[in-house]
Amino acid sequence: MFRFVRCLCFVFAMICVFYAEGGARNCQDTLYSPGEMLKPVDSALKVAQGDQAIGFSLPSISGKKVSLSDYLGEKNIVLAFIPAAWTPVCSDQIYEYTFYEDYFREQDAVLLVISTGDIPTLFAWTRMMMNVWFPVLSDSTPPGEVSGKYGVKRSTGISERAVFIIDRRGLIRYIDVHDINEKPDINTLLTELKSLNK
């Protein structure tokens, strides 16, 4: 029975990919639309540029825990807080990141995606995205603890759509707490990331 269910899931995923001209962003029938526009920002930032990044250790969809300290002294780090799996803007954002593995490698950087969703939900969602090369971490236990420490936890319990760039020393060099209804501009992120190596 389990193999049959797995087979059905695989077939569904392949059909979705086959019909999607632009990947996950066009599989609209699998995504939940929150409907009306949300309040653009609903939190109070607790860190600033130049601050030491707040450490964390979170479970990932790979089954391993990932800590900020794993990369300090070795890599530049991009933290991308993404509000909710299976929603259009979040899916578009994470799908877009899948195209930039080489650029992150060139900038000696790692991308860590953090969501308040649980591991099973994030695992299934990212499998639909295909080629997710970066760690996807769950900030669900306790709910939103890490997003709360950074000051990007909304009153509803999910995180803001927020991006932080942290240098090898662990200093926060860039912050974008973005309108939750819109995807951040990838070119701005890449430009800011490149500036760390100048």
The catalytic site residues sit at 90
Q: What is the DSSP string of the chain?
A: -HHHHHHHHHHHHHHHHHH-TTGGGG-GGGS----SPPPS--S-----TTSBPPP-EEEBTTSSEEEGGGTTTT-EEEEEE---TTSHHHHHHHHHHTT-HHHHHHTTEEEEEEESS-HHHHHHHHHHH----S-EEE-TTTTTHHHHHHT-B-TTSSBPEEEEEE-TTSBEEEEEEE-TTSPPPHHHHHHHHHHTT-
